[in-house]
Structure 1
Amino acid sequence: MNTTLRDLGIDEVDALVSLYQHLNAGDAPPSPEAVQAVFRHPGLRHFGVFEGAQLIASCNLAVIPNLTRGGRSYGVIENVVTDAAHRGRGHGQAVIRHAIAQAWTMGAYKVVLTTSRKDPAVWAFYERCGFDSGDKRAFVIRRPA
């Protein structure tokens, strides 16, 4: 089947939220206000791979203004997900490589990606996409419940 890769629009949020169940099963859907805020944010883009009309892979890219590195921005890729039935076919790599290319086009000097997955196969996947797991160390703090 034919696949396409493109930016997602607000009218595709239901398909995106449905796909996110493959990332974090059981997540509550966002409020309409949250959807509006996310899709209005000028530095945030969502990319999707479609097989026919079905969204099968996605990630988002935030490009953040910066005052170091000569004022060059940096990118952050998050929410990388491929429908479980479509994994292992290159769709995840394609959407990540697209996001990286968009970050370079937008003037970013680096792109950062973090994962909470502990599976070495997931880490190897990101390394095949060009990320260096030894370059930086990530620290995360979560808001208390």
Structure 2
Amino acid sequence: MIREAEGKDIEQLFKLYRMLVPNSKKMNVLEEQIEKIRVDPMNFSLVYDEEGEILGSVTLNICLQALHGLRPYGVIENIIVHENHRSKNIGQKLMQHVEAYCKSIDCHRIMLLSNSQRLKAHQFFEREGYSGSVSNGFKKYL
């Protein structure tokens, strides 16, 4: 089942995020931040939970804008499926859940960035209908 992450999920989320960014020295998963996201109506940390085991996760941020009337847009971050449970449609279910929610609130679009080295992830995103050739992604770490 897909549900919002809770503070008690911190250890399992940490393990998933470590699979996403194995060499990160800046990773700092905090229970209070998970809870802060959980109560924020514009931000979602979603998990795919199977009998208490978290097998996947995605973060969705809803952003307001002035360009398209009242229509917001969604930004997907930190999508990860446990390495022992890939190719079981977990990622697809998470993405479909996000898309259904974004449609329900009349989002204009959904965007995501992906590390340029994650070629299998890029193939997955393209299968889900995302185009890597529409825009260029740029980041500046602070």
| Fold agreement, TM-score > 0.5 | yes
Deviations 1:40-68 (A, max 9, x none): 43311121112221000110110111111
- In 1: Cα distance, 2:35 partner to 2:119 partner: 36
Aligned to 2:79: 80
Aligned to 2:18: 21
CA shift in 2, pair 1:138/1:71, >3 Å: same
Contact 1:6/1:49, CA 8 A, preserved across alignment? yes
> Structure 1 unaligned runs (5+)?
none
Question: What is the TM-score of this pair, normalised by structure 2?
Answer: 0.86
Question: What is the TM-score of this pair, normalised by structure 1?
Answer: 0.84
Deviations 1:95-141 (A, max 9, x none): 11111111111221100011014143221110011101122221111
Q: Confirm whether residue 8 of structure 1 aligns to residue 5 of structure 2.
A: yes
- In 2: Cα distance, 1:120 partner to 1:14 partner: 27
Aligned AA (1:106): I
Give the alignment of 1:22-101 within 5 angstroms.
22-25=19-22, 27=24, 28-101=27-100
Give the alignment of 1:101-120 within 5 angstroms.
101-120=100-119
CA shift in 2, pair 1:91/1:35, >3 Å: closer
Q: CA RMSD in A?
A: 1.9
- In 2: Cα distance, 1:51 partner to 1:117 partner: 30
